[in-house]
Structure 1
Amino acid sequence: MVHYGHSNQLRQARAMGDHLIVGVHTDEEIAKHKGPPVFTQEERYKMVQAIKWVDEVVPAAPYVTTLETLDKYSCDFCVHGNDITLTVDGRDTYEEVKQAGRYRECKRTQGVSTTDLVGRMLLVTKAHHSSQEMSSEYREYADSFGKCPGGRNPWTGVSQFLQTSQKIIQFASGKEPQPGETVIYVAGAFDLFHIGHVDFLEKVHGLAERPYVIAGLHFDQEVNHYKGKNYPIMNLHERTLSVLACRYVSEVVIGAPYSVTAELLDHFKVDLVCHGKTEIVPDKDGSDPYEEPKRRGIFCQIDSGNDLTTDLIVQRIIKNRKLLQTLDVPHCPARGGGLPARPASVGASFREQ
């Protein structure tokens, strides 16, 4: 999976140089060393490219980073999080570049991991919706996804994510709409930010020559009202960072009203309101949440050409979990009921100019 923890790693990495090149592994390489990935390699290539700090993506990057790879792409050094990544036979994948002094580390993002998110999907709980303490059952279940037979994996330790204004500032563009820009408003849960969201936002972004896209994110309780079960999987703060990291989004409304009101449209001087092809669920009073933009003639439905939804991702997770329980995958807790620590492993390399 690609989540805001990966985005934050890439943000830090980009700040170390002038040009960020991100190598993304193939499905075959990930399956060999970690287990089956949640997203296909083509989906991951595009998702990583959509992160606004990424300048270039290298598809099918080798799992072991070598000096030859760095030289091939004119990179001065490579960057990885402060966790250990091992090959199927237990070797450090960055051993060669470390010995050559061409390796740097960035801090991992506390409180988020692929395994934690998977734990939320598979254990029906709403503990992640707010700042309340995790139940002992949830913590024990989520922890089980992050522990290998050899001990505790530093990448997958589970702790609750605590949002700060500084983190939002780091992710936000800080730019206001400029004269001549078209202000486009979209709204939704944007849960488990995925390639379906990327394709939709890319289409929306392409509607204007100079777009300024504002994404309204609904409160957790609102999302749970129209999605049910234990949705959203990611809480509002986590979803905010995921969307802010997307290069097609200029601004985020945190806790946007479910119905797009006249006040919201006037405040942000919205020129166009867009929605995808997913069902529009009526508001609690039975009204159309897009009634006002439709009345103004500024509503537009967009077909992204991608039918992937958060529900389908959860189905993929469950399918992968069942598969892993039948396999003997090194360095992951598969047979104990968990998914691999980083099934969509992302490596980053840099070229200083």
Structure 2
Amino acid sequence: MEESKVYALPDLLKKLDKDRAAGKKIVFTNGCFDILHRGHATYLRKARSLGDLLIIGLNSDASVKRLKGESRPINKEDDRAYILESLECVNYVVKFGEDTPHELLSQIKPDILVKGGDYKLEDVVGREFAREVILIDFVDGYSTTKTIQQMKERD
């Protein structure tokens, strides 16, 4: 059985100490990743290509509900984490309950912080904790909100 890639923050920090000592370049991104689609997969593969390890900060169910509304998330955080950790490009998943990953980033201090192209550099939360911030364009036509809307329209 494979080892889980989902870590509590203290355990992740210990792993990252070893990874840094081995000279690994650490990339971080975060999100809700509620209904994983091609746009997510493309984004995560591009993010991973920027370094040696990709960490996903995953919003908890409570934070997704606050950010996206009462009807979200569709998938529970443990299920979302399981799907993310099954992706080859993902090395670590860490859940967080705040609305932003600011506290997480203050401790992880990645080499590269990646966000979607809908952000402006000056608006990226936690950018002061990363050596570099990179924005990756989204794949047109893919959106969890759009997918949910299409499913509702079909009913």
Does the alignment reach a TM-score above 0.5? yes
Match of 1:215 in 2: 56
Classify 1:236/1:273 alpha carbon distance in 2 versus 1 (closer, same or farther; 3 Å): same
Decide whether the 8 Å contact of 2:56 with 2:90 is kept in 1: yes
Asked if 2 retains the 8 angstrom alpha-carbon contact of 1:171 and 1:245, the reply is no
8 Å Cα contact 1:236-1:255 kept in structure 2: no
The CA deviation at 1:192 is 1.1
Distance change (3 Å), C-alpha of 1:170 and 1:316: farther
Percent identity between the two aligned chains: 24
Q: What is aligned with 1:204?
A: 47
- Could you tell me how far apart the structure 2 residues matched to 1:251 and 1:306 are? 27
How far does residue 198 in structure 1 lie from its aligned partner after superposition?
0.2
SS of equivalent to 1:203: helix
Give CA deviations for 1:21-45 in whole Å, capped at 9, x if unaligned. xxxxxxxxxxxxxxxxxxxxxxxxx
TM-score, with structure 2 as normaliser: 0.75
- Larger CA deviation: 250-259 vs 240-249: 250-259
Distance 1:228 1:295 in 2: 29
Decide which structure has greater helix share: 2
Q: 1:173 to 1:289 in 2, by over 3 A?
A: closer
Task: Tell me: CA distance 1:257–1:289, structure 2 relative to 1, closer, same or farther (3 Å).
Answer: farther
Q: Does 1:312 align with 2:146?
A: yes
Kept in 2, the 8 Å contact 1:173–1:251? The answer is yes
- Number of residue pairs matched by the alignment: 143
Provide the alpha-carbon RMSD of the alignment: 2.9
Match of 1:272 among 112, 137, 141: 112
Q: Hey, what's the Cα distance between the residues in 1 that align with 2:109 and 2:128?
A: 15
Gapped regions of structure 2 (runs ≥ 5): none
Q: Give the counterpart letter for 1:264 in structure 2.
A: L
Q: Deviations over 1:235-273 (max 9, x none)?
A: 111111111111111000122543333x53353341111
Task: Indicate yes or no: 2:88 matched with 1:255.
Answer: no
Q: Computing the radius of gyration over CA atoms, which structure comes out larger, 1 or 2?
A: 1
1:191 touches 1:234 (CA, 8 Å); kept in 2? yes
TM-score for both structures, normalised by structure 1: 0.36
C-alpha displacement at 1:227, in angstroms?
1.1
Q: Name structure 1 gaps, 5 residues minimum.
A: 1-14, 16-168, 281-287, 322-353
User: Which residue is equivalent to 1:192?
Assistant: 35
Q: 1:226, CA displacement in angstroms?
A: 1.6
Task: Give the aligned residue type for 1:191.
Answer: D
Q: Which whole-Å deviations, capped at 9, do the CAs of 1:172-225 have from their partners, x for residues lacking one?
A: 3899453222111111100011111101101101123xx200001112121111
SS at match of 1:230: coil
